[in-house]
Amino acid sequence: MKALDNIALILLIVGGLNWLLVGLFEFDLVATIFGGQDELLSKIVYVLVGLSALYSLKFLGLINAPRVDRVDRTDRTDRRNV
C-alpha cells in the first residue's frame, strides 16, 4: 500500500506542477512532452493524475484522526529510571 501511496503522491505533484504552468504561462507540459492534449499518452497521464486524486481522498480521513502512539517493542530499556 505504501508504494501505491507514493505513486499517487508523485502523480499529484506532476499534475499540480502542470496546472501551475498552465495557470501562469498557459503552457501544458504534459501535452508538450507527449505531443498534444489529444494524444493517447497525454490522456493516460491526465487519467492517472485524476485517479490519483480520487485515491488520495482517503487521506482526508487521516487528517483529523486521533494519533496512535506505537511502542517500539525492541527497546527494552526502562525509561522510568532516566
Q: Please, what are the averages of pLDDT over each run of 10 residues along the chain (82 residues)?
A: 93 96 97 95 96 94 80 62 58
- Global pTM value: 0.75
CA distance 15 to 52: 10
Are the CB atoms for 48 and 34 separated by under 8 Å? no
Task: Please report, for residues 57, 58, 67, the alpha-carbon distance to residue 63 in angstroms, rounded to integers and kept in the order given.
Answer: 11, 10, 10
- CA–chain centroid gap for 78, Å, is 39
Q: What is the pLDDT of residue 64?
A: 81
Q: What is the pLDDT of residue 7?
A: 96
CA distance 79 to 35: 61
CA distance 72 to 53: 33
Q: What is the pLDDT of residue 13?
A: 96
Q: What is the pLDDT of residue 66?
A: 85
